Amino acid sequence: MKYHNLEECIMDLEKHGHLVRIHEEVDPHLEMAAIHMKVYAAGGPALLFENVKGSRFRAVSNLFGTIERSKFIFRETFESTQDVIALRNDPMKALKNPFKYIGTGLAAKTALPIKKTGTLPPGFQEIQISDLPLIKHWKDDGGAFVTLPQVYSEDPEKPGVMNSNLGMYRVQLTGNEYEMNREVGIHYQIHRGIGIHQAKANKLGQPLKVSCFIGGPPAHTISAVMPLPEGMSELTFAGLLSGRHFRYSYVDGYCISHDADFVITGEIHPGETKPEGPFGDHLGYYSLVHPFPVMRVHKVYAKQQAIYPFTVVGRPPQEDTSFGELIHELTGGAIRQEIPGVKEVHAVDAAGVHPLLFAIGSERYTPYQQVKQPAELLTIANRILGTGQLSLAKYLFIAAEENQTLDTHQIEAFMSYILERIDLHRDIHFQTNTTIDTLDYSGTGLNTGSKVVFAAVGDKKRDLCQEVPEALKDLPGYSPSKWIMPGIVAIQGAPFTSYAEVRQEMEHLNEAIRARGALSSCPMIILCDDSEFMSATVSNFLWATFTRSNPSHDIHGVNSRYEHKHWGCDTVIIDARTKPHQAPPLIPDEEVERSIKRLFTDGGSLSRIPIR
């Protein structure tokens, strides 16, 4: 079905059993977020909050909570959008199979945005920020945030919608030093289009006009998070996926989406920042307070019967996990066209996406050599770490597909394949003092940390341990070791104190392990705070290891040494203990958890949802 607005989507989902209405009054302070997370974890339906305390507007969440529901929403346009993206990535497809792609021209007709005459769309009314559902998600958040915004800006040097950027950058509505109804915070990270626009506006000495759209057809929300091919506008993608032109006009010089439920307009002035945060983010920790651009609010609009969409992020998986699945299906093999030699790149959601990438590449440089070693793989790895948001990755595990089929989504099998083949003295490559994800606090500062590439090619070099090796049992000063997966063992040590102390700890650990003999079957040891937790699930291992370690500072090794500035070892040790400078993890509020039980007991709006 091609939706004209968000309400049509909600009615359609309800008709087909994909949405539940919550009639009871619910507090936007922590309660709405807690309800959402409980229902999402149960694989439950979308939620329409009809009675939001303190606001006359309704709110909806969990629209994209499952890939099945997302594909249902876009069931009439999903395949045609895939085809258009495929042609953009590989135009030769149309020449090879013209009849298959004959419909893409018709689908593309909806891509171009349409400018409407007049001023505001019919039924739009002016409101204030304080009228919105001011949703606070986590106990220590700095205030209320918009979590599904579509933040629109234009290139100051080339104004117009075809040179615009539409991005999902969280917006802080209340708290900190923001003047209520007059200022909001715009948190955007590195490698984002709005940053280019603001840099140009600053150079010209003028404020950047920004419009924040909230709601509208679901395709508009998805378009704000799509990693589109170079030259494809988010607004054209919104038209493609919705099957309907993006409609807009200008009011007071600001772009207004005619299909949005809410629009916040304002200006970001050169050099103006205010403290933004904390905010419970998608790595499973709070992103802390930092100066980010402040937007002076011009006007705020709402359509009649507007509905406020929101989501909640936290330790994966959450609803943004489903976003990632949808994007992967839509873009298909785009990465193979952008980076020759790549078969697959998987940003591992359980590790918070940016901290960990798995990749499959090719190794074709020296087929005549008997002894194989990474060559083309390293070229591909550098290309991956220099491409768009992939460049925010910290850990990249990359292998060449040779005599067997590999799948980066089979976590244990892929890790085992690499650990069986990697030469730990030759095939670990660091990049230090470089950029990492803004939300990752494992590094040395905001956006600052290091990267490492583990590359593997060729024949199997070792058999991996299937239990804790004797050499790692009952190590003096450490709790009992736990086996995580083939070749990887968790060791629980004392709490981290300082990097000066770590040097001594590593010397003692090295001595203890060396005294017990060779450890070839265990190429990776994880030093952690809680080995029971670390080994309980693969998800725990991925999350705790790769969000809590900075490669340059936290990778050590048994018998490690440098040769012409290249580091290697016999067994890798990753120190994944919590460090004092890292952000605190997100912990649900027990009082709120007890409060929302009223909705899940007999007679409550959500009593029919099976909650574990």
Asked if omega into 278 is within 30° of 0 (cis), the reply is: yes
Task: Please indicate, yes or no, if residue 162 is contained in any of the structural domains.
Answer: yes
- Reported pTM: 0.91
What are the residues facing 528 on neighbouring strands?
A: 492
The rounded distance, in Å, linking the Cα atoms of 339 and 332 is 14
Residues 430 and 382 in one domain: yes
Residues 420 and 499 in one domain: no
Whether residue 423 is found in the same domain as residue 525: no
**Amino acid 90: pLDDT:** 52
Residue 449: CATH number of its domain: 3.40.1670.10
Which residues sit opposite 571 in a β-bridge? 558
| Side chain identity at residue 301, one-letter code | Y
In a domain, 602, yes or no: no
Q: Which domain holds residue 479?
A: 470-575
**Same domain flag for 435 and 514:** no
Domain boundary pick from 310, 341, 358: 310
Q: Between the CA atoms of 90, 92, 97 and 102, what dihedral angle is there, to the nearest 10 degrees?
A: 70
| Averages of pLDDT over each 10 residues, the chain, 612 residues | 93 96 97 97 96 98 95 91 68 42 53 85 94 98 97 93 91 98 89 84 95 96 81 83 93 96 97 96 94 97 97 95 86 74 92 94 76 88 89 94 91 97 97 89 89 95 96 90 97 95 93 85 97 97 97 96 96 97 95 95 86 68
Residues 474 and 452 in one domain: no
Nearest partner of 88 among 224, 240, 244, 247, judged by Cα = 240
Tell me how many domains the chain contains: 3
Question: Last residue of a domain, which of 277, 310, 343?
Answer: 310
State residue 559 phi and psi, 5-degree precision. Answer: 55, 40
Q: Are residues 517 and 381 in the same domain?
A: no
Q: Are residues 428 and 496 in the same domain?
A: no
The region, left, alpha or beta by phi > 0 then psi within -120 to 50, assigned to residue 212 is beta
Whole-number Å distance between alpha carbons of 324 and 273: 31
Residue 595 belongs to a domain: no
CA dihedral 116, 119, 120, 126 (to 10 degrees): 160
Could you give the count of Cα atoms lying within 13 Å of 113 in the half-sphere of its Cβ? 24
In a domain, 251, yes or no: yes
Query: What sign for the dihedral angle of Cα 475, 478, 481, 485?
Result: negative
Return the structure tokens found at 542.
């991925």
Give the CATH number for residue 535: 3.40.1670
- Is the Cα torsion angle 79, 81, 85, 88 positive or negative in sign? positive
CATH number at residue 70: 2.30.110.10
Whether residue 42 sits in one domain with residue 104: yes
497: left (phi over 0), alpha (psi -120 to 50) or beta: alpha
Identify whether residues 488 and 450 lie together within a single domain.
no
Is residue 583 a part of any domain in this protein?
Answer: no
Residue 53 included in any domain: yes
Residue 93: its pLDDT value, please? 46
Q: How many other CB atoms are found less than 10 A from the CB of residue 23?
A: 12
Verify that 392 and 509 share a domain, yes or no.
no
Is residue 346 included in any domain, yes or no? yes
Residues 303 and 324 in one domain: no
Number of helices and strands in the chain (H, E): 18, 30
Q: Write out the DSSP string of 254-297.
A: EEEETT-SEEEEEEEEEEEEEEE--EE-TTSBEE--EEEEEEEE
Exposure string for 59-92, b = 16+ CB within 10 A, e = fewer: bbbbbbbbbebbeebbeebbebbbbbbbbbbeee
Residues 190 and 47 in one domain: yes
- Residue 91 covered by a domain: yes
B/e letters for 374-393, b = 16+ CB within 10 Å, e = fewer, are: bbbbbbbbebbbebeebbbb
Cβ 471 vs Cβ 463: under 8 Å:
no
